[in-house]
Amino acid sequence: MVLSVGLVGCAATEVAYVSVKNYTQGEYYLQNDQYEDCIAKFERETENYPYDANAQFYLGRCYLAVEKNRAALTHLKKAVTLDQGNPDYHFWKGLAYAANGQSKSERQCYEDALAIKPDHVQALVYMGHNRFEAGDYRKAMGYYNRALKKDAEIPQALYNRGLALRKLGRTPEEINAWKMYLDAYSDGAFARTAADYLNRYGNFEYRNHIIGKRTLTLARIDFEPSSARIREISRPSLDELAQVVVKNPQLVLHIVAYQKNNRRLAEMRAKSVKKYLMDQERRLNGSRIKVSWFSKPETVKIDKKVYRLDSAVNFLGQVK
């Protein structure tokens, strides 16, 4: 009797050890993009330990990473069967269903994950994606909002919430959503699109500037009232601009300032921006930064609309 208990205990210890080992190795393979090694490893593990949920899970994950979607789904299903209380297993099974084009089953997996863990951020975000693709924009926005309560800077949730509000015609909220996205992520194609949406509504808190071969999304350059002193909030955008210019030695930057009925203030602001850029980057040669100023509003044409900005600073970068 004692001998029998001892054997059971040893077996349980081995199973626990294998599961922990598979978790550690699985995470290593995924973090280092070693998908083929991962597949080879866990194909052996699932043969030797077919009842280890982690082995099935990581084999499914790695199959999914190399787009072997049917095989991925098979093993992720097995992982869920072996450990139905793990919300991550349900979530990744949902992604496998999505990769196989099975939207309804995908949604059910996210619901199962959220039933176990209501604040599972990934499940909330992808449930939002699922509802968005189905055209249920109101529910999609609800899931994105729930995810953002847990993590306020999830890029997909921030961006797609803006799209959902756009689809629903809730313009003031949409404008605020684009600003929130750009406050967190002002670089890349999605940032450029978000700025374009803002500008079409006549909001120019962010704008896209053509700097050589690159389009740079920058926050509006603000100054202290009736002065050329640059506000602290505008400095990160100017720091980014300085970095781009200094890394492109063939680039000449044009700074254009506008101030309605005040040419002198426009001049001071243009020169203030130039000085700031040169102070931040000593490698910048003053001959590469040109300034001009106007005592009139800047005229911006978007589609068939014309906007006039009483006070503005614009940038244009040209290759020599």
The Cα-based distances of 7 to 15, 20, 211 in angstroms read 12, 20, 71
What's this model's pTM, rounded to 2 decimal places?
A: 0.87
The Cα-based distances of 221 to 176, 260, 270, 311 in angstroms read 19, 16, 11, 10
Contact 209, 177 (CB under 8 A): no
- What pLDDT digit, counting tens, does each position of 58-90 carry? 999 999 999 999 999 999 999 999 999 999 999
**Domains contained in the chain, CATH given:** 2-180 (1.25.40.10), 189-319 (3.30.1330.60)
- pLDDT for the residue 283: 82
- pLDDT for the residue 20: 83
- What pLDDT digit, counting tens, does each position of 148-192 carry? 999 999 999 999 999 999 999 999 999 999 999 999 999 999 999
- What pLDDT digit, counting tens, does each position of 183-208 carry? 999 999 999 999 999 999 999 999 99
Rounded to the nearest 10 degrees, the angle between the axes of helix 137-150 and helix 155-168 is 150
Contact 47, 80 (CB under 8 A): no
